[in-house]
């Protein structure tokens, strides 16, 4: 039927209209996108400015690691676990110039890794063959450790690290941090092992049932720290006996402050007043619930009467370092000394306000499993 066939003119008009409509749609889309970009341009610019501003702030905060002389003084606190290292760091933490904070746990690991590289001839030669000189590695380790401490210590005047096994590397640390000082906390191995086993502290290699194994491991581990402390020298490494710290806190802490060459403040005698304020405690550390209390004698002789008789007879063979350190290994109840007035007052405070202090200790009771690498 001819009348059903569209004319050429009609088809041409349709094509022109379609083309114009298509062009119109493109123009509308371009205008819409332009308007959107114009309206949001200020937002994009603001976001870019914020990012640039934050980046500049970070750059300003980042410490410079290349100049060793610019690095802040650092205190390293160590000793065998359950020796009083947490109490020691809480006391140091109460000084306004210093902040130690909780155990980092990563610093001993990086130091152990650096040591293992050098001990392995094959690994060391591979590193050297790959262009990793000793200077590069030491610079990297120094930067890593300092970065951790700088931010963990909240940029305090004097940085501090309390990781029990960090003193195993005192000699190396002293070489990369010339302004560092070390505090090695010493405690009777019998008290240490009793605490480890009764409080179920899981330390790599230690047993919760085998006394002989534990005393041997204590002796081996402490001997390394002892030798490292001697190698560093008395001017850089101070041995602090836990027993004297709790019996004669005033005199002992005065000696520590003098060794660290920092100004005396009475705050260091009352660390418990700063718990939850300047001093933060981790609920994954076994000693947190104990150091919330003022310096006291509660844990001094808890071990007496609890270690098997046959182990006591063999103690000089199992842990010869005890004699080296001057501990009495023959008496059933050794005398560590006479308590001073300060600690006697603290003991009365604990006795008269037992409910208060016990409730406070419960707040910091360990919540999570905790394994200490040896």
Please list the rounded mean pLDDT of every run of 10 residues in the chain (374 residues): 43 49 51 49 42 44 53 95 95 96 94 94 93 94 95 91 96 96 98 94 92 97 98 98 98 98 97 92 84 95 95 97 96 94 97 93 72 58
Give the C-alpha separation, 166 to 171, whole Å.
11
At 186, which helix (H) or strand (E)? strand 180-186
At residue 66, the pLDDT reads: 45
Q: Given this structure, which CATH class describes domain 74-364? A: alpha beta
At residue 154, the pLDDT reads: 86
CB count within 10 Å of CB 105 equals 16
Which active-site residues does the annotation give? 103
Domain boundaries, the chain: 74-364
At residue 202, the pLDDT reads: 87
At residue 20, the pLDDT reads: 57
At residue 68, the pLDDT reads: 65
Greatest Cα pair distance in the chain: 129
pTM over 0.85: no
At residue 89, the pLDDT reads: 96
At residue 38, the pLDDT reads: 46
Q: How many CA atoms lie within 13 A of 82 on its CB side?
A: 26
């Amino acid at each position: 039927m001819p009348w059903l066939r569209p004319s050429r003119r009609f088809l041409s008009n349709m094509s022109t209209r379609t083309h114009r409509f298509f062009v119109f749609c493109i123009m509308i889309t371009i205008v819409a996108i332009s308007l959107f970009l114009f309206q949001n341009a200020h937002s994009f610019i603001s976001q870019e400015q914020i990012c640039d501003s934050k980046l500049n702030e970070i750059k300003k905060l980042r410490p410079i690691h290349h100049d060793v002389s610019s690095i802040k003084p650092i205190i390293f606190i160590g000793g065998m676990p359950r020796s009083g290292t947490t109490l020691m760091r809480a006391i140091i933490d109460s000084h306004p110039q210093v902040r130690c904070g909780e155990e980092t746990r990563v610093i001993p690991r990086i130091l152990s890794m650096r040591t293992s590289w050098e001990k392995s001839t094959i690994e060391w030669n591979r590193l050297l063959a790959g262009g990793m000189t000793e200077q590069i590695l030491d610079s990297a380790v120094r930067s890593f450790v300092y970065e951790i401490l700088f931010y963990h210590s909240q940029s305090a005047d004097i940085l501090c690290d309390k990781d029990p096994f960090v003193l195993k590397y005192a000699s190396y640390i002293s070489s990369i941090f010339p302004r560092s000082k070390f505090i090695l906390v010493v405690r009777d191995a019998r008290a240490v092992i009793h605490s480890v086993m009764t409080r179920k502290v899981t330390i790599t290699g230690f047993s919760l049932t085998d006394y002989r194994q534990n005393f041997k491991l204590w002796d081996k581990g402490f001997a390394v720290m002892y030798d490292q402390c001697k190698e560093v020298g008395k001017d850089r490494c101070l041995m602090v006996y836990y027993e004297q710290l709790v019996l004669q806190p005033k005199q002992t802490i005065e000696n520590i402050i003098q060794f660290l060459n920092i100004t005396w403040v009475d705050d260091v005698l009352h660390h418990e007043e700063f718990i939850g304020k300047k001093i933060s405690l981790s609920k994954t550390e076994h000693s947190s619930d104990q150091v919330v209390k003022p310096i006291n004698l509660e844990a001094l002789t808890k071990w007496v009467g609890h270690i098997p008789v046959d182990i006591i007879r063999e103690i000089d063979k199992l842990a010869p370092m005890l004699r080296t350190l001057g501990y009495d290994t023959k008496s059933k109840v050794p005398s560590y000394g006479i308590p001073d007035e300060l600690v006697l007052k603290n003991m009365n405070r604990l006795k008269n306000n037992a409910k208060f202090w016990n409730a406070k200790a419960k707040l910091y009771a360990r919540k999570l499993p905790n394994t200490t690498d040896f």
